[in-house]
Amino acid sequence: MKRIREYGIEIGNLAPGPLNKITDVEGVLVGHETLDTEHHKTGVTVILPCRDNPFVTKLTAAAYVHNGFGKSQGLVQLEELGTLETPIALTNTLNVGKVHDALVDLILEQCAGEGVEVTSVNPVVGECNDSVLNRIKDRPVGTEEVRRAVKAAEKDFKEGAVGAGCGTVCFGLKGGIGSASRRFEIGGETYTLGALVQSNFGSTEDLMINGRPVGKEIVSLTEPAVLDRGSIMVIVATDLPVSDRQLKRILKRAGAGLSRTGSFMGHGSGDIVIGFTTANRIPEKVEKELLTLRILKEEALETAFRAAAEATEEAVLNSLAMAKTMTGYRGKVKHSLTDLWLSKLHC
């Protein structure tokens, strides 16, 4: 499978990072555990925000909910305190609780090994409903799957029908995990912003690629999704020196990227963006009552807004381009964008 740029389709104006993935942000790793069996098309994807313990030195973080038809965990405290203290995990709707438990265990073990006392921890878990292709009621993702995903975390991770994206459906086609990044200068310094998506939203006829109404071209070739009933999780990572409030402003622009792919964020769609920056770390225990943070002025966020929109748009398209046609547990077939349209391009 090839990523969207390998078909000659370049998204936006800003340049991508070396891998054109969220892991272009230094310190970020992504790992998958995929369950692809006769009955199960699901898994878990874990985003490690740093190489050290995020509970001990938390990351400035924020979240933005475009439409809240979702079952994520951990967003209330993240929004209130503006910090992230665990990896972020993505899975299917009915496995959120089990993945949450697994993250608690992992942080407790890591802190115990470092002699850090823990009385509370706030794991962040996102989800999409993959029940079209996966027998979701079996809830097969748990502690061992999360541990394997963490152990497998790497910079150049796989995309498409892997991990939490194994059974997802996007614009009526096979969706999955996709990622992209942008590099840009502000004030003479170079920064990176990356996005990772778990795509599970949209109606076929609405799909747009670089402004082209591709969905209308392929709608006659496959069964269209009548309503936008799915969801999308967007994870944004950056190394910009911003506050949690400024970060939330950036996260809102992921919605512009989603709209450019054809999403209108329908009633039944959970459209949730979670983001963090590696630049402003907050120690768990601080002797002084005052902290000093380095942040950009508001006008300087303009380029970051564009980066968030472009990276999200391209991440969605990569999730589609890298996913193969799949047959689900009830014989339901979801065709890939590559089979139906991309393979016909002469690049």
Digit-coded pLDDT (tens) for 4-16: 999 999 999 999 9
The confidence score (pLDDT) of residue 288 equals 79
225 confidence band (pLDDT: 50, 70, 90): low
Alpha helices in the chain (DSSP H): 75-81, 96-113, 143-151, 214-218, 244-252, 254-260, 302-321, 337-340
φ, ψ for residue 18, nearest 5 deg: -55, -45
pTM score, whole prediction: 0.97
Above pLDDT 70, what percent of the chain? 98
347 confidence band (pLDDT: 50, 70, 90): very low
In a domain, 182, yes or no: yes
Whether the predicted pLDDT of 229 surpasses 80? no
In a domain, 309, yes or no: yes
Domain carrying residue 326: 12-336
- State the Cα–Cα distance between residues 281 and 236, nearest whole angstrom: 16
Beta-bridge partner residues of 42? 35
In a domain, 343, yes or no: no
Per the structure, the count of domains in the chain is: 1
Structure-token pair, residue 138:
């079996």
In a domain, 341, yes or no: no
Residues that are catalytic: 231, 269, 271
Whether the predicted pLDDT of 294 surpasses 60? yes
The residue among 68 and 165 whose pLDDT is bigger is 165
In a domain, 88, yes or no: yes
The confidence score (pLDDT) of residue 222 equals 74
Q: Average pLDDT in the 175-192 region?
A: 97
Amino acid at 320: L
Domain harbouring 303, CATH code: 3.60.70.12
- State the Cα–Cα distance between residues 340 and 323, nearest whole angstrom: 12
